[in-house]
Structure 1
Amino acid sequence: MNGNILSAEVQTFIRQHADMDASRIALKKSPFEGVSSSELAQQITGWQKVSSKMPEWLKQDKALYFPEKLNLEQCSSAKTGKFKVSLLSPDCTVLDLTGGFGVDSYFFAQRAKKVIHCEINPQLSQIVAHNFLELAIDNVQFHTGDGITFLASSRKRYDYIYTDPSRRVKNQKVFRLEDCEPNILAYQSLFFEHSDTLLTKLAPLLDISGALNVLPHVREVYVISIENDCKELLFVQEKSFQGIPTIHAVRLSTDKSQTFSFNYIQEKETVPTLGEPTNFLYDPDVAITKAGAFKSVASAFHLQKLHQHSHLYSHDDFIGDFPGRVFRIQQVVPFSRFKKNTGVAKANIVTKNFPLKVEQIRKKFKIKEGGEDYLYFTTLYDDRLVVVYTKRI
């Protein structure tokens, strides 16, 4: 950690050049003695990353220090951090075993009485401690070293143990639980010796059912999305829990959050009604589809499913609280007729359970991207290929 970067002159330079291409800064001679051009580029890259994930930090005009880009890849955003805090009890104690850049610890500290931030990278631990001092966070204790070793040598108990296993090992991205670091499957007994409740953030690409098969005492799973982009999975384990896990599909937005809850027994036993597209088309949020609530969402909102595998729904009426996008259907045409006479030069194209990909359709029919019209290429319950012309509500 280079203390020269924290000087007022360097901080002003970083703010003034925050919108620039950092690679251009790296190629120029540094205007500051004791701070290299590559260090300036790193700080500007960090500023840009944090501005999208934690804009409130930058609004405080503090002398923050940003680590290498790799250390920012996996960190949470403000929206997901605030959501996780809503699951905690007030005045609790939290052990963050894999602290990283500290975003989650920062939000935990808003509700917890005490947070312990463990980070194996000494420089990153020093950076987070400095930033928290600047941000006036005084209820976080920092431990530089391996969190597992720290826990194994401790006799203390915590209300929550939080882990966010690294999904990059030896410069390779990994997704299976046993390949992440630490391998949390190997330490379940140790975790439960020190806490009754475990919170684990996992990769969006992880197979939820597979994780439920190997993680004990899972009470809840949260599938969290922002702007129809699945950001993370959060598994909540409770030492005494033996029942069926509840799955929550959570959509976060600027002004509100929306949660749809179900379990896999309900999903398996639900028999959806299959039918034709009528007045409105319902396209579920990625949190719903990742969670696997294909039939449950249809049942809950009394929708007709267009096909067992299409995961598109329809209804005569408008349902404003549906967890996803809603479109007014203009017309439905067989794909065979669409091939003969498209009459469409520009549209947003979506494919669901359809033999052609979006890129292939655009190339084949010379349809440019954009506009107000949405064309859904899909398969109906009787295996007819159709194009649904819609406008988004």
Structure 2
Amino acid sequence: MNKAILSEAVQDYLRQHQDAQAADMALRKSPFTSVSSSELAQQIDGRQRAAKKIAPWTLVPGIYYPEKLSLEQCSSVETGNFKASLIQAGSKLIDLTGGFGVDSFYFASSATKVWHCERNEALAEIVAHNFQTLGLENISCHAGDGIALLQGSKERFDYIYSDPSRRVQQQKVFRLQDCEPNIVEHQALFFSKARCIISKLAPLLDISLALQTLQHVKEVYVLSVQNDCKELLFVQEQGYEGDVQVHAVRLLPQGQQTFSFSYAEEQAAESSFGPVDAYLYDPDVALTKAGAFKSLGHKLGINKLHPHTHLYTSPDLLPDFPGRRFEVIAVHPLRSLKKGLGLRKANVISKNFPLRVEDIRKKFKIADGGDDFLFFCSLQSGEHVAIQAIRLPEE
């Protein structure tokens, strides 16, 4: 950490050039003898990345930005706030894999005390400076391995939080046991130090496999922002042996929308099928990742088009459906498409259909864009169709 970057002159320069291209800045000669052009570029790039995830931080003078990988991996305002809502006020939490400190920052808004652990000493120094700049007095920063700190601590915590790295020795890993730290291996240690464990896991992780390896899982949260699955959160509670509650959570500008179920409910639920009706529904990625394929239609009382076509339909508009809602314009049997739809441009979606989107566009000469949506899919009868629809705004 180059403290010369924090001088008033350098900070003024960075504010004046906050919208500059970082790559261009790196090629210029630095106007400061104690700060290189690459360091200036890193601060500009970091601020621009932070503006997309943690915009309130960029309004605070003197925030120091690390290398881009730390910002790429950090949480956003939306996901940070949500995680803070999972812990009780006045509790004590240790963040074993602190990183840039965004999660610790939001946990500190609820917890009495937060311990932030980071193995990268340079990053740990940056985080400690930023917490001080942000005026946080209830976070204790530790430069070192979080597991080692936990093993040597006599402290008992209410929560242990970790975000295991999916990149080990420059290689991506996919099994939970291969991530660092290995939270499967350390479960006994964790439960000897805390009553509750919260783990942030990769969106690509197989939820069912994780449930086979993690003990006492009480809840699983699947978080999405703008129909993009951002995080999986596994909450383990000491001694819990009941059904796992799964929550598909859409983090929206106007708040959040949650659909909850258990896998026992999903297994017992029976889908009802029917033809395409006046309205069509495309569930948010949080629902599909969570595996709410039958329980969604069952709980909402709407028909599905096919067991493997995850689209739903109803004669009357369902205003609070957790996903995109469409008004159906027409249903085109595949055989009639050979004559052309008369649509030169549309948003094409392939669901349980033998052709990929790019192949559909090429075959039927449909450009991307416009107001029309075309869902190429299979119906319960086995017929292949294209459903033409207009998207309805979120309420």
What's the secondary structure of 1:333's corresponding residue?
A: strand
So what's the TM-score if we normalise by structure 1?
0.98
Using the alignment, how far apart are the partners of 1:284 and 1:22 within structure 2?
38
Residue 189 of structure 2 corresponds to residue 193 of structure 1: no
Relative to structure 2, which stretch is displaced further, 332-341 or 99-108? 332-341
RMSD over aligned Cα, in angstroms? 0.9
Residues 235-284 of structure 1: CA deviation (Å, up to 9, x unaligned): 00001100110000000011210000001111111110111111000100
Q: 1:369, CA displacement in angstroms?
A: 1.4
CA distance in 1, matches of 2:21, 2:334: 45
CA distance in 1, matches of 2:384, 2:198: 44
SS at match of 1:186: coil
Alpha-carbon shift at residue 362 of structure 1 (Å)? 1.6
Q: CA deviation at 1:318?
A: 0.4
Partner of residue 120, structure 1: 119
Alpha-carbon distance between aligned partners in 1 of 2:353 and 2:220, rounded to the nearest angstrom: 30
| AA in 2 matched with 1:17 | H
Q: Confirm or deny: 8 A CA contact 2:327 2:391 kept in the other structure.
A: yes
Deviates more, 1:294-303 or 1:173-182: 173-182
In 2, the alpha carbon distance for the partners of 1:26 and 1:2 equals 16
Tell me how far apart the structure 1 counterparts of residues 338 and 136 of structure 2 sit (CA, whole Å).
Answer: 62
* 2:27 counterpart residue number: 27
Residue 230 of structure 1 corresponds to which residue in structure 2?
229
Aligned counterpart, 1:165: 164
For residues 369 and 21 of structure 1, the distance between their equivalents in structure 2, rounded to whole angstroms, comes to 30
User: What residue identity is the alignment partner of 2:187?
Assistant: Q
- Structure 1 residue 10 and structure 2 residue 33: aligned? no
Shift of 1:9: 2.1
Q: In the comparison of the two structures, how many residue pairs are matched?
A: 392
In 1, Cα distance between equivalents of 2:32 and 2:175: 45
Is there any run of 5+ residues in structure 1 with no aligned partner, and where?
none
Match of 2:147 in 1: 148
SS at match of 2:130: helix
- Equivalent in the alignment of 1:291: 290
1:50 equivalenced with 2:44 (yes/no): no
3-state SS of paired residue (2:63) = coil
The CA distance in 2 between the partners of 1:17 and 1:336, in whole Å, is: 58
Q: Do residues 344 (structure 1) and 343 (structure 2) align?
A: yes
Q: Which residue of 1 aligns with 2:249?
A: 250
- The answer on whether the counterparts of 2:340 and 2:364 sit within 8 Å (CA) in structure 1 is no
- Residues in 2 aligned to 1:168 and 1:314: alpha-carbon distance in whole angstroms: 41
SS of the equivalent of 2:249 reads strand
* 1:312 counterpart SS class: strand
Give the SS at the match of 2:281. strand
Q: Deviation string for 1:156-212 (max 9, x for gaps)?
A: 110100001112222222232112111111100000000010000000000000000
Partner residue, 1:93: 92
Task: Name the SS for the 1:43 alignment partner.
Answer: helix
Tell me if 1:133 matches 2:158: no
Distance 2:163 2:289 in 1: 19
Conserved 8 A contact 2:71-2:100: yes
Q: How far does the alpha carbon of each residue in 1:102-127 deviate from its partner, in whole angstroms, 9 at most, with x for none?
A: 00000011111000001111111110
Task: Quote how far apart the aligned CAs of 1:144 are.
Answer: 0.8
* In the alignment, structure 1 residue 74 sits paired with structure 2 residue 78: no
Alpha-carbon distance in structure 2 between the residues aligned to 1:281 and 1:245: 30
Mapped to 2, the partners of 1:231 and 1:266 lie a distance apart of 25
SS of the residue 2:38 aligns to: helix
Give 1:295 shift. Answer: 0.5
Percent identical residues: 55
Amino acid at match of 2:355: L
- Larger fraction in strand: 2
Quote the residue 1:318 is aligned against: 317
Q: State the 1:150 CA deviation.
A: 0.4
SS of equivalent residue, structure 2 residue 73: coil
177-186 or 222-231, which deviates more: 177-186
What CA distance in whole angstroms lies between the structure 1 residues aligned with 2:158 and 2:350? 45
SS of the aligned residue for 1:196 comes to strand
Report the equivalent of 2:208.
209
TM-score (ref. length: structure 2): 0.98
Contact 2:344 2:365 in 1 (8 A): yes
- 1:15 positional shift: 2.5
SS in 1 for 2:185: helix
Alpha-carbon distance in 2 for matches of 1:42, 1:170? 24
Are the counterparts in 1 of residues 81 and 106 from structure 2 also a CA contact under 8 Å? yes
Deviation at 1:361, TM superposition (A): 1.5
Gaps of 5+ in 2: none
Deviation sequence 1:5-62 (CA, Å, 0-9, x none):
11122222223323232111111211211111111111111111111110011123x2
Q: Which residue of 2 aligns with 1:306?
A: 305
Structure 2 residue matching 1:225: 3-state secondary structure: strand
Q: Distance in 2 between matches of 1:270 and 1:21?
A: 53
